[in-house]
Amino acid sequence: MPAGTFTSGLMADISKTKGVILRSPALSSQRARFALIHQLGHFLMRTDLADRQCTGRDLSENRRDTAHRKEEMQANRFATGLLMPKPAFLAYLEQLGKPTLAHLPKIADKFGVTLDIAAARYVELAQGRFAILIIKEGVIRFVLPSRSFPPLSLRPGDAAPPTVQLVAPGDPLIWTGAEVRDWLITSREVRPPKMMIQILRKESGLKTVMLLVNAATERRADEEAEKSATQSPKFGRRSSR
């Protein structure tokens, strides 16, 4: 479904005592549940509510740089919290272990949500320095970094790095080394982190990418760099007497 198409809507009276929620019949059951609760969030949170129509992009909005985006983000957080309550979600994460893309289908099935909605909640609450990107037809659709993940150089609408296209449906889900310059903003003054990548491709062509910076590996690299710096010989003129 294109991101800009109608998914759901809300019609409410001026006094905001009654309302009707509409949804597109093309939505999957998981997307429909989220869309309906998203509209309920609009109804409960807005005092000046009239009629409203939301697109697929609105249902994945996490920005707040405009009034419209902030309202959609708030409705999404309401729906996310209702469908995946934080205590229950964290308790389930404890059973799963370290971050991996293999967790996303399990989370989506457990809480009855779509893969992208599961990914957004996973990035928000799971421990670790990682990011998830969702790619369709070679174009990045969603970028979901954890709070501690380094700045990404890619944004929604950008072309995905060529290495992503090499993965075929059914390929095993494995960790491999990632080319940092393909994904992150780098600087000559700062050592780039050592990063791993997982890529999951569906038959539909949808690709989900996880980038992971391993904290233990980074600590060892920092220790080795510090040790090397302290042990480096220092050259200079001998003082004359």
What's the pLDDT score for residue 118?
96
Confidence of residue 215 (pLDDT cuts 50, 70, 90): confident
* Long-range Cβ contact pairs of 143-152 (< 8 A, separation 24 or more): 144/119, 144/120, 149/211, 149/213, 150/184, 150/185, 150/193, 150/213, 151/184, 151/185, 152/183, 152/184, 152/185
pLDDT higher than 70, residue 110: yes
Confidence of residue 231 (pLDDT cuts 50, 70, 90): low
pLDDT higher than 60, residue 43: yes
Tell me the whole-structure pTM to 2 decimals.
0.84
pLDDT higher than 80, residue 85: yes
Looking at per-residue pLDDT, the higher value among 227 and 152 belongs to 152
Task: Tell me if residue 54 falls in helix, strand or coil.
Answer: strand
Q: Do residues 155 and 166 make contact, with C-beta atoms less than 8 angstroms apart?
A: no
The average pLDDT across 58-67 equals: 90
pLDDT higher than 60, residue 137: yes
The average pLDDT across 41-62 equals: 83
Q: Do residues 151 and 170 make contact, with C-beta atoms less than 8 angstroms apart?
A: no
The average pLDDT across 215-226 equals: 70
Query: Across all residues in the chain, what is the average pLDDT?
Result: 88
Domains of the chain: 6-83 (no CATH), 126-225 (3.30.450)
Convert the pLDDT of each residue in 205-214 to its tens digit.
889 999 999 8
Kindly list the distances between the CA atom of residue 87 and the CA atoms of 61, 83, 169, in Å, as whole numbers in the listed order.
23, 12, 34
Kindly list the distances between the CA atom of residue 203 and the CA atoms of 61, 91, 137, in Å, as whole numbers in the listed order.
26, 31, 12
What's the pLDDT score for residue 241?
47
pLDDT higher than 90, residue 163: no
The average pLDDT across 108-115 equals: 96
Q: Do residues 45 and 75 make contact, with C-beta atoms less than 8 angstroms apart?
A: yes
Looking at per-residue pLDDT, the higher value among 225 and 156 belongs to 156
C-alpha–C-alpha distance, residues 120 and 142, integer Å: 9
Q: Give the largest CA-CA distance in the chain.
A: 95
What's the pLDDT score for residue 203?
77
Kindly list the distances between the CA atom of residue 143 and the CA atoms of 47, 60, 210, in Å, as whole numbers in the listed order.
32, 11, 10
C-alpha–C-alpha distance, residues 165 and 149, integer Å: 24
Closest C-alpha among 230, 206, 197 to residue 130: 197
